Structure 1
Amino acid sequence: MTTPSKTEVAMQNLMDVFYQYAKGEKYTLTRSQMKKLVEIELTQLTKKKGNIEAFDRMMKDLDFDGDGEVNFEEFVSFIASIMLTCNEIYVQKREQMKK
């Protein structure tokens, strides 16, 4: 058996995290499950806790189909948007280091 690549491991980790929190038959994240995931798994990005309005806006933006829950597709979209923002910061820091 071959060793999985870093990308394959990252993909498996994201799926594991989603399904760890997506309890129930529908495999979706309720508001409280998503909040718990964000608080535990994204601690470096969510140092300011207690901002309920921002969380509510995020949940509304994530819920593309309007069912009040976050499915796997919506979760992946959320992770991608966070990664894009983090990448912008990463590139800016690299550019500053070159100067």
Structure 2
Amino acid sequence: MTKFEDYLEGIVNIYHQYSVRVGHADTLSKGELGQLITREMANILKQSKDQSSIDKIFQDLDADRDAQVNFEEFVNLVFTVLLTTHDNLHKPC
């Protein structure tokens, strides 16, 4: 497996690590998303550790308004974080 493929698999595995509720094993609740953000994205989303920020992120991601974030909706967060990271890497020191 290539390094890129490893990274992609890692994102999927982290998503599944937090989507553990019985009966909803492939979606994230607001609490699960909050845990994922605070544990896995702490350095990237520093300002998003408080509950109101997590509530806003959850609301923005939950496109179908079913009170859960599925993998496709979660990928939007990954996409946004990836773009921000890319932009930050190109900023002058």
Greater strand content: 2
Taking a change above 3 Å as real, the CA distance of residues 50 and 39 of structure 1, as seen in their structure-2 partners, is closer
Equivalence for 2:16? 19
Aligned residues, how many? 91
**Bigger Cα displacement from structure 2, 20-29 vs 49-58:** 49-58
Report the secondary structure of 1:85's partner residue: helix
Deviation of 1:49 (Å): 6.3
Residues 14-55 of structure 1: CA deviation (Å, up to 9, x unaligned) = 010000110133310000111011111112124346522221
Q: TM-score, structure 2 length as denominator?
A: 0.88
Give unmatched runs, 5+ long, in structure 2. none
Alignment of 1:7-86 (within 5 A): 7-23=4-20, 24-26=22-24, 27-48=26-47, 50-86=49-85
TM-score, normalised with respect to structure 1: 0.83
Matches of 2:46 and 2:86, distance apart in 1: 19
- Paired amino acid for 2:65: G
Q: Percent identity?
A: 26
State which structure, 1 or 2, has the greater radius of gyration over its C-alpha atoms.
Answer: 1
Unaligned runs of 5+ in 1: none
